[in-house]
Amino acid sequence: MTQYVYRFGGGVAEGSAEDKNLLGGKGANLAEMAAIGLPVPPGFTISTEMCTRYYDEGERFPESLIEEVKAGVAHIETVTGKQFGSAADPLLVSVRSGARVSMPGMMDTVLNLGLNDETVRGLAEISGDERFAWDSYRRFVQMYSDVVLGLDHDAFEDALEIMKEDNGFFLDTDMEASHWQALVAEYKTIVEAQWGKPFPQDVNDQLWGAVSAVFGSWQADRAKVYRKLNDIPGNWGTAVNVQAMVFGNMGDTSATGVAFTRNPSTGEHAYYGEWLINAQGEDVVAGIRTPQYLTKSAREQAGAKPLSMEEAMPETFAELARVFDLLEAHYRDMQDIEFTVERGQLWMLQTRSGKRTAKAALKIAVDMVAEKLISEQEAILRVDPMALDQLLHPTLDPDAKRDVLTTGLPASPGAASGKIVFDADSAERHNEMGEDVILVRVETSPEDIHGMHAARGILTARGGMTSHAAVVARGMGRPCVSGAGSLSIDNNAGTLTIGSRVMKAGDVLTIDGSTGEVMLGEVPTLQPELVGDFGTLMVWADGVRRLRVRTNAETPNDCAVAREFGAEGIGLCRTEHMFFDASRITAVRQMILAESEEGRREALAKLLPEQRSDFAEIFRVMAGLPVTIRLLDPPLHEFLPHSESEFADVAEAAGIGIEVLKRRSAELHEFNPMLGHRGCRLGVTYPEIYEVQARAIFEAACDVAEESGAAPIPEVMIPLVATRKELTLMKAVVDDVAAQVFAEKGRVLEYLVGTMIELPRAALMADNIAHDAEFFSFGTNDLTQTTLGVSRDDAARFLGQYVDKGIYPRDPFVSLDIEGVGQLIEIAVEKGRKTRSDIKLGICGEHGGDPASIAFCEAAGLDYVSASPYRVPIARLAAAQAALKS
Ligand code: PEP
Ligand code: MG
């Protein structure tokens, strides 16, 4: 027969911290604390398996459970010497939920269970405190009516307020025994009126009611929502913990508190917490009374008067401190603890690993290695890579007030405030005047780049996580909220409307690119602080990871930032992004719109020197590290001119009439530009474009080799290849130019030619393609788009619902669709290596900065991942964790 009840306390521990799945976190840790001899009030845990069975069998309990619970109660009675339901010396219990992972405040708790009209008198007698007994009883009736009977709790609050008013009292502490007794009578009348039956007097009925309520709370709406938000499966179920009550409200030698063994926001190795003298646990949490500081130094630092526990109860505090140290040494992690002192006796009610900020996580992990509590490898595994994001960008002051107008996609992390501007030029103008601005656009396009750079942050109404705005903003490290659908921008009126709120240019907004929140006014931010612990952990991480970490960058500044963050090369330099500059985009447009090779070459001649000097600068910054340069891959819709003035600029540059240009632009219009004339298709139709780009690369490489002696190793990458023939043709163009340049310069450099794998056909034909490719770089943005058949620019409108409905576990443009897209990568890796065993393999889609995707890359045996500069540290840590776990 399956055992459903597990006892603990009084020298018994039928479970341990290992049993979280069965006993829930709280139950497992209570058993563990009992096992190591800490003072835990005796009790028992009804397992999560029972919860699952309860729901499977139509919310009924099996006969066997009734016997097991009886034995559990008998265990508590034996240890405490009290009797459940006895009028002489009554046992009172708490009934609490406890799932595998903590779901704070989501599920139910009942305290003081076992009180009725008889036992309350026994409690008064035994405690010698009538007031305490009746106060406990009224708390119980109120809590039970709310949690178990589901009655309207306002009626109870009102009755208490009226009672206080009638007696001229302000505080609960003014109430005497007789008042609480009268209130209990009042409460019982309310119960009978609302519930239609008297308040249950049988203590066993009370217990089963509470157990059912706790199991029932697993399926409460709020618990379901919490589970969904935190990826907690619904079939896990909760355990129920029934435990002897201990009282922190038995006078001035009693107390209750919550504590962390280290500071959860700074990581400082100092006890951190709050306590209340003469109070029950919920008083601390509910904030009815202001809790006091635990330690003398914390109290003094805060300039508070009420005595700390260290001062008011020195002996008990010393014992508590001993328990803190013991628990930390035992669990080898910072603990979050609940305790109660009953008439000088300390009782431990809960312990668990404490939640902490990124800063604290780093400090605690590094400190614990120094304290020899954990190994360096454990320290690496203790820090959530994504949490590092908090340290790499300015964050909103958590204590600041915020007026949230709407929420869009958290497209690029960090927070920023500034005046609203609606176009890139204004952004630049205001920036030059020293003003902070937020660039607000329906969507961004390449000609907004200078404005995006000048702005503190970017807000768009349209576009997903891999939209132009999102990708560019992440690359630049600018906070960005994209796809905020409730934004309505009227460029003519110069207004931004969100719901009923209308703002105009110059009004101040704050955006949080880490949460997607858009707020009115300036919300203060905290600057990133790369403290020593951060660097230490990174060095350890680098020591264990196998995957190399590169960056996606195209400006010398971004390259420099990425190197500071530890990038070991460039995995993707998107050359079209180098043309965003206002002076160049006109030449690019001239090239695109040209009707003849001659026209294109004229435009390319303007671009060649600019490209050459850009590449040279990047080679200098990267100082001999590998640099993958991708030849032009412009989705045409991002580059064609739109406005009259843009057409006028191109007309002037090309010496052609505007009308001719407009006709040509109309001819180039595509219905599906993402699948249109882009990538190597451009190079196939206009080889002179790739020829000139290759020339710029090799000339720059030779120049830098000449001046520094450290020869750059360019890796020339051909985008959007579907067939080997495309690559064969383009590789020939590159190789020819290389040979020419080397002959001209009298110097031969090492270089590679490879391709992106970003189309399913390329993955499937990888063995064939590898004959011409010296490396593959998985362009998982396009590979996701083309495998799923979901446009990366339009996905935001519906993908959220897909994730809500569990169709995809996460946004597949953020975290790799391992089942589908991952399979194509595995196929390509295997086939590519079959043809060319030493083929270099990397990933340069946005997934290269996502820890779950990085773990996949480790397993798939890639050589490197490439992430945007601000994600490089995240990728380094994630790669180390992946290596340790594999
Ligand atoms: C990709 O498709 O994954 C990629 C890196 O290229 P881009 O985002 O520039 O299309
Ligand atoms: Mg691509």
Q: DSSP assignment of 160-192, as one string?
A: HHHHHHHHT--SGGG--HHHHHHHHHHHHHHHH
**Closest residue CA from atom 9 of ligand 1:** 574
**For residues 853-859, average pLDDT:** 98
Distance 640 CA to ligand 1 centre (A): 19
Q: Which atom of ligand 1 is nearest to the CA of 720?
A: 2
Point out the ligand nearest to the CA of residue 635: 1
Q: How many CB atoms lie within 10 A of CB 372?
A: 7
Atom of ligand 1 nearest to the CA of 471: 8
Written as six digits, the tokens of 240 are 């129920």
Predicted confidence at residue 105, as pLDDT, reads 64
Please tell me the distance between residue 758's alpha carbon and the centre of ligand 2 in angstroms. Answer: 6
Q: In whole angstroms, what is the distance from residue 790 CA to residue 794 CA?
A: 8
Smallest-distance ligand from the CA of 793:
1
CA of 795 to the centre of ligand 2 (A): 16
Residues whose CB falls within 8 Å of the CB of residue 601, separated by 6 or more in sequence, listed in order: 688, 692
Write out the CATH class of domain 393-526.
Answer: alpha beta
Write the Ramachandran bin of 773: left for phi over 0, alpha for psi from -120 to 50, otherwise beta. Answer: beta
How far does the centroid of ligand 1 lie from the alpha carbon of residue 815, in Å? 15
Instruction: Specify the pLDDT at position 530.
Output: 60
Q: Choose the CATH number for 545-885 among 3.20.20.60, 2.60.120.10, 3.40.50.300, 3.10.105.10.
A: 3.20.20.60
Q: Is the CB of 574 under 6 A from ligand 1?
A: yes
Superfamily designation of domain 255-353: ATP-grasp fold, B domain (3.30.470.20)
Given the residues 480, 680, 702, 844, the one annotated as active site: 844
Side-chain half-sphere CA neighbours of 110 within 13 A:
32
Question: How confident is the model at residue 466, as a pLDDT?
Answer: 63
Phi, psi of 511 (to 5 degrees): -120, 145
Name the token pair of 323. Answer: 């328990």
pLDDT tens-place string over residues 794-812: 887 888 888 888 899 889 9
Is 792 near ligand 1, meaning CB less than 6 Å away?
no
The identity of residue 461, as a single letter, is A
For residues 138 and 146, is the Cβ–Cβ distance under 8 A? no
> What pLDDT, on a 0 to 100 scale, did the predictor assign at position 59?
92
* Whether residue 759 has its Cβ less than 6 Å from ligand 1: no
For residue 81, the model assigns a pLDDT of: 96
865 lines ligand 1 (CB under 6 A): no
Residue 849: CB within 6 Å of ligand 1? no
Pocket probe for ligand 1: among 554, 572, 815, 864, the residue whose CB has the most ligand atoms within 8 Å is 572
Instruction: Tell whether the torsion through CA atoms of 206, 77, 244 and 69 is positive or negative.
Output: negative
Q: Give the number of whichever ligand sits closest to the CA of residue 720.
A: 2
Residue 584: predicted pLDDT: 84
Phi, psi values for residue 859, rounded to 5°: -65, -35
Ligand 1 pocket, 576 CB below 6 A? no
Class of domain 5-244 (CATH, top level)? alpha beta
The DSSP annotation for 625-643 comes to S-EEEEPP---GGGTS--S
Closest C-alpha residue for ligand 1 atom 4: 779
Task: State yes or no: is 642 an active-site residue.
Answer: no
Q: Examine the residue annotation and report whether 468 is marked as an active-site residue of this protein.
A: yes
Token readout for 316 is 């008990």
Closest to 462 (Cα-Cα) out of 717, 856, 793, 62: 793
Query: Is 220's pLDDT higher than 90?
Result: no
User: How far apart (Å, rounded) are the C-alpha atoms in residues 186 and 160?
Assistant: 9
Q: Which of 440, 390, 394 is nearest to 418 (CA)?
A: 440
Please state, in angstroms and rounded to a whole number, the distance separating the CA atoms of residues 559 and 551. Answer: 8
* 699 alpha carbon – ligand 2 mean position (Å): 26
Q: What per-residue confidence (pLDDT) applies to 174?
A: 84
Equal CATH topology for 255-353 and 393-526: no
Q: Is the pLDDT of residue 716 over 80?
A: yes
Sign of the CA dihedral 282, 286, 288, 293?
positive
Instruction: Please tell me the distance between residue 172's alpha carbon and the centre of ligand 1 in angstroms.
Output: 64
**Residue, of 225 and 240, whose pLDDT is higher:** 240
pTM: 0.81
Percent of the chain with pLDDT over 70: 98
* Percentage, residues of the chain above pLDDT 90: 71
Residue tagged active-site, from 75, 393, 430, 468: 468
Domain ranges of the chain: 5-244, 255-353, 393-526, 545-885
CA of 196 relative to ligand 2 center, distance in Å: 67
Ligand 1 pocket residue status of 346, Cβ below 6 Å? no
**Measured from the CB, is residue 474 less than 6 Å from ligand 1?**
no
C-beta of 476 in contact with ligand 1 (< 6 A): no
Residues 35-57 have pLDDT tens digits of 999 999 999 999 999 999 999 99
Closest ligand to C-alpha of residue 630 is 1
Across the range 187-210, mean pLDDT stands at 97
Q: Quick: pLDDT tens for 59-88.
A: 999 999 999 999 999 999 999 999 999 999
Rounded Cα distance between 757 and 828, Å, is 8
Distance from residue 720's CA to the centre of ligand 2 (Å): 7
Query: Taking residues 323-350, what's their average pLDDT?
Result: 95
Return the higher-pLDDT residue of 861 and 646.
Answer: 861
Cα distance between residue 645 and residue 389, in whole Å: 40
Span 280-305, pLDDT tens digits = 876 665 555 677 889 999 899 888 88
Is 60 exceeded by the pLDDT of residue 394? yes
Q: Which residues sit opposite 754 in a β-bridge?
A: 717
Kindly report, residue by residue over 650-666, the tens digit of the pLDDT.
888 888 889 988 998 89
> Would the CB of 762 count as within 6 Å of ligand 1?
no
For ligand 1, the distance from its centroid to the CA atom of residue 430, given in whole angstroms, is 32
Can you give the pLDDT at residue 444?
84
* Distance, CA of 189 to CA of 82 (rounded, Å): 30
Region 528-534 average pLDDT: 74
Closest to 517 in 3D by CA, of 402, 392, 389, 358: 402
Mean pLDDT score of the chain, rounded to an integer?
Answer: 92
- The mean per-residue pLDDT over the stretch 571-598 comes to 87
Residue carrying the six token digits 């709120």: 501
According to the model, what pLDDT value does residue 469 have?
Answer: 81
Q: Is the CB of 572 under 6 A from ligand 1?
A: yes
* pLDDT range class, residue 643, cuts 50, 70, 90: confident
pLDDT, one tens digit per residue, over 627-639 is 999 999 987 777 8
- 572 CA closest ligand 1 atom index: 5
Of 638, 717, 780, 782, the one to substitute when testing ligand 1's pocket (max ligand atoms within 8 A of C-beta) is 782
Which of 576, 633, 674, 781 maximizes ligand 1 atoms within 8 Å of its Cβ, making it the mutation to test the pocket?
A: 781
Q: How much is the average pLDDT of 459-465? A: 83
Q: Rounded distance, CA 652 to CA 614, Å?
A: 25
